[in-house]
Amino acid sequence: MKTNDPNNITNRVKLDRRAFIASGAATVAMTSVNTCWAQNGDQSAVATDPKFKLRFAPHPGSFQSTVGKDVIDQINYCHEKGFTAIEYNRITKETPEIQTRIGKTLAKHDMQMGVFVAYADFAKPTFANPKKDSTKDILNKMKEAVKIAKRCNAKFMTVVPGSIDQPLNQKNVYGGPRLAEGYQLANVIDMLRRCAEILEPHDLVMVLEPLNWHANHGGAFLKDSDQAFAICRAVNSPSCKILFDIYHQQITEGNLITNINLAWDEIAYFQAGDNPGRKEPGTGEINFKNVFNAIHQRSVKEGKDFIIGMEHGNSIKGKAGDQAVIAAYRAVDVK
């Protein structure tokens, strides 16, 4: 009998053992490659999962339990998991160096930067009944937003145009405006035109986000999609468009697909979050698969490519919750 005969039982056991060891070594090697992002944020992550068809954009915090708080590590992880965009509302709080590094990391992975918040006030009528100091603050923040957008390769920035001008009673119930509603509306339009003048030379877009009064932002000036549509038409600038947040609009008005189609020409950006709870798709009442399919089908016909920001929390804590979010978006992605 040949001692190196692979059909020999003893030799077959030896070969199987060697194959097992070799496969284990390969697994360790692949694990080492796939986790290089966690050891050095400047290393390119290896995309092990297929890209999502839709341009879903996680935010810092979406996968924090898995990769930690470092934003560069999180971007690398998002790339590895097939995402092609991120959004970062609070990027204005980062240093210019980190903002630049975020932009370079996204460019390296061929990913897009979604929205950040350029200006938001939820309690004061800074647009509806502007004062000298608040107007100066708004315009300064828009100028600073231009610099930030250039550092991180962003095109879109969120603007929340303050509250309505109203007296509030002890239960925070609307008691009628101090300034007539028509004048408030005119003031909002005028202020947005001034903001747009800052952004237009740089081909940047502020997106106005209607917010719900019932669960989150009572008294916000902008709350309806048709209201946002009319304001964008009045501002009449390519730098003033709508951020259609599916979570907020489900609470405010429902009828999502119809209202998306009606406001379509002024929509530049979407955000998602299920209701109730504002967590990932599949945790509430919204049929995200149908909504996303409707957006995708019309986008393909018209040659549009929307970012869909994942502006919500995770329904499950820890690493299991991070993975549940990824699975939820795989389930509602288009085919």
pLDDT tens per residue across span 91-135: 999 999 999 999 999 999 999 999 999 999 999 999 999 999 999
102 and 56 in contact (C-beta within 8 Å)?
no
Distance CA 327, CA 15 (A): 38
* The pLDDT of residue 287: 98
* The pLDDT of residue 15: 35
User: Per the structure block, which two tokens stand in for 289?
Assistant: 């698969």
* The pLDDT of residue 175: 54
Beta-strand relationship, 267-272 and 85-86: unpaired
* The pLDDT of residue 166: 81
What are the residue ranges in the chain where pLDDT is below 70? Answer: 1-47, 167-177
Residues 6+ apart with CB under 8 A from 93: none
**Which of 154, 142, 146 is CA-nearest to residue 86?**
154
115 and 85 in contact (C-beta within 8 Å)?
no
Sheet holding 55-57, edge to edge: 55-57, 307-310, 267-272, 240-245, 205-208, 156-160, 116-120
59 and 311 in contact (C-beta within 8 Å)?
yes
Quickly list H helices, 200-317: 225-235, 246-252, 256-263, 288-302
* The pLDDT of residue 169: 53
Distance CA 205, CA 213 (A): 25
CATH number listed for the domain at residues 40-332:
3.20.20.150
Beta-strand relationship, 55-57 and 116-120: unpaired
